[in-house]
Amino acid sequence: MSMPASTRPATVRNVLFIMADQLRWDYLSCAGHPTLRTPNLDALAQRGVRFDRAFVQGPVCGASRMSTYTGRYVTSHGSAWNFVPLSVGQKTLGEHLRPHGLRCAVVGKTHVEPDLDGARRLGLDPSTGAGRLAMEGGFEPWERDDGIWPPGFKVEGNRYCDWLRGLGYTGDNPWHDHANSALGPQGELLSGWEMRHARRPARVAEPHSETAYTTQRAIDFIDEQGDRPWLLHLSYIKPHWPYVAPAPYHAMYGPQDILPAVRSEAERRDPHPVMRGFQQTPPSLSFARDEVRETVIPTYMGLVRQLDDQLGRLFDHLRASGRERDTLVVFTSDHGDYLGDHWLGEKELFHDTIVRVPLIVVDPRPQADAARGRTVDALVESIDLLPTFLDALGLPPAPQWLEGRSLQPWLAGETPADWRDAVFSENTYAFRDPVRLPLGRAVEDCQMTMLRTERWKYVHVDGLRPQLFDLAADPQELDDRGADPALAGVREALAARLVEWLRRRRRMPTIHPDDIAAWNRRELDAGIRIGEW
């Protein structure tokens, strides 16, 4: 923080909550990547605290994001995979903050699926007012854009696509045909959905790319707000596939720059049955080939580098506009990308490659000066963000809803003695026929729950053997000891721990613990005396 402490306020007024999609924890230079350069995120980490071991609550976009947006584990909010509507019964980040006067908006992706059945049941109009906000996961859709349209899909009513059309990028689907495709030698369209085209430049100029546009819209929102308080969820779609980058980012890295695949022959020979299923899906079969990795990963890196450059522009604007002074800035991701590690592509399982994400938090207040530039290796979770926001904004906690803990002590340079020693993440493979059907499992029987401590990673898999990794001996998670008789005692202890966690979920969110504790007294005060002779 360059400015003197005296010019900064004692409380935070705004929150800039930035999320990248499918960005691995280890694809930042400040996290140790040897060739990828992310100077603006490195500088952000220098201005605040980088949490080196931050974990998401689900290894796919939807479940992970709904946990971040509700501050609750997946089993508590029930939106257990992509496209599972977020129940109108769940209280979201926006609903926690808005009553206190903050405008809570999104620019970019949320992956929130509207609970239209809930809206009908309650007579809510899903197109306006509180009903619309509930359908949007509590965010005002200032410019919501989840991206990801297949080739041939006619995109209507999308602001980015309309803007591209205004710039001359014509067609039904300029998102696909221009921003996420390239041109071939004969001028033919090469879709970014086919990864073989990843090394070619996008058909848009860099300032017209999704990442640049999204950044500009965030700047527009911040300017529009002026001195009025806000939380902006700035949510980039990249470096999520399609793996297409605009020039010059498409060519900034090459095969010589990529990290070697983390994988072993044993993993392919005798994997966990669910992992075997995922290894047989198209993304995994593709990324098992070196040619694919060497084609795609340099572009993935270029997309990260572009994101970093755009964030540099945004941070400059924040500084120039004076908002750096009173804004809590968070940068994170919703999950990683296997990119061929463990013979897998995409995500869905619980290796650190996927569930560990970048997390940088900058608290502008003087009280946080002592910790600037620090790296914290405590186990933190994405559900800690909402409590952190409440805390930074000086708002009351909501323990009946929120299952995470405020990160404020770490931001102030403290080391809480009673910090958690385990993190949790959940997924279901019910939606993935190629995994589910060969295992003969009903859709209700496909739950997986991960518990990760300092030493162990344990994954309970309904009806099948668990996975177990000894992270001390095997930090790359190559040796699944889920069936090793020598570790039966360890598995038993971890399974018991997982059960204890499951039992203690916040499933009674409609009453505050203080009201529970006060109940007996209130009953007596009201003259209710039961069973007296």
**Sites for a second copy among residues 3-42 (CB under 8 A):** none
Residue 331 pairs in a beta bridge with 18, 360
Task: Indicate which single residue of 166, 440, 485, 527 sits in contact with a second copy (rule: CB under 8 A).
Answer: 527
Q: Which CB atom, from 346 or from 381, has the smaller least distance to a second copy?
A: 346
**Where in 136-165 is the site for a second copy (CB under 8 A)?**
150-153
> Quick one: residue 186, left, alpha or beta (phi over 0 = left, psi -120 to 50 = alpha)?
alpha
Task: Indicate which single residue of 251, 430, 464, 478 sits in contact with a second copy (rule: CB under 8 A).
Answer: 430
130-to-93, 98, 116, 138, 276 alpha-carbon distances in Å: 14, 11, 13, 9, 44
Point out which span in 260-268, 351-359, 428-436, 478-486 binds a second copy (CB under 8 A). Answer: 428-436
Q: Which CB atom, from 6 or from 510, has the smaller least distance to a second copy?
A: 510
CB of 195 to a second copy, least distance (A): 5
Task: Return the structure tokens found at 221.
Answer: 């929102």
Q: Which CB atom, from 53 or from 342, has the smaller least distance to a second copy?
A: 342
502-to-76, 104, 488 alpha-carbon distances in Å: 9, 31, 21
Residue 331's SS3 state is: strand
How many chain residues touch a second copy (CB under 8 A)? 81
d(CA 173, CA 151): 7
Point out which span in 7-15, 227-235, 264-272, 429-437 binds a second copy (CB under 8 A). Answer: 429-437
Q: Does 226 bind a second copy (CB under 8 A)?
A: no
d(CA 5, CA 20): 30
Q: Closest Cα partner for 287 from 311, 308, 309, 262?
A: 262
Cα dihedral 385→387→388→392 (10° resolution):
140
Q: Which CB atom, from 377 or from 433, has the smaller least distance to a second copy?
A: 433
d(CA 67, CA 386): 10
Task: Indicate which single residue of 281, 321, 367, 453 sits in contact with a second copy (rule: CB under 8 A).
Answer: 281
Q: Does 91 bind a second copy (CB under 8 A)?
A: yes
317 Cβ neighbours under 8 A, 6+ residues apart: 219, 222
Which x/- pattern over 482-501 shows residues binding a second copy (rule: CB under 8 A)? -----------------x--
The DSSP secondary-structure symbol of 50 reads: E
**Where in 355-414 is the site for a second copy (CB under 8 A)?**
none
Q: Does 282 bind a second copy (CB under 8 A)?
A: yes
β-strands 456-461, 49-51 pairing: unpaired
The DSSP secondary-structure symbol of 114 reads: P
Which x/- pattern over 48-87 shows residues binding a second copy (rule: CB under 8 A)? ---------------------------xx-xxx--xxxxx
Task: Indicate which single residue of 320, 417, 486, 528 sits in contact with a second copy (rule: CB under 8 A).
Answer: 528
**Where in 178-197 is the site for a second copy (CB under 8 A)?**
193-196
Q: Which CB atom, from 218 or from 386, has the smaller least distance to a second copy?
A: 386
Q: Does 516 bind a second copy (CB under 8 A)?
A: yes
The continuous run of DSSP H or E covering 424 comes out as strand 422-428
Residue 105 pairs in a beta bridge with 140, 232
152, 173 Cβ separation under 8 angstroms: yes
DSSP H helices in 322-401: 352-355, 385-392
**Where in 344-363 is the site for a second copy (CB under 8 A)?**
345-346
Point out which span in 110-118, 209-217, 252-260, 353-361 binds a second copy (CB under 8 A). Answer: 110-118
CB of 104 to a second copy, least distance (A): 13
The continuous run of DSSP H or E covering 186 comes out as none
Task: Indicate which single residue of 123, 187, 485, 489 sits in contact with a second copy (rule: CB under 8 A).
Answer: 123
Point out which span in 12-20, 222-230, 328-336, 524-532 binds a second copy (CB under 8 A). Answer: 524-532
Point out which span in 46-54, 181-189, 442-450, 471-479 binds a second copy (CB under 8 A). Answer: 442-450
Residue 451 pairs in a beta bridge with 424, 458
CB of 325 to a second copy, least distance (A): 32
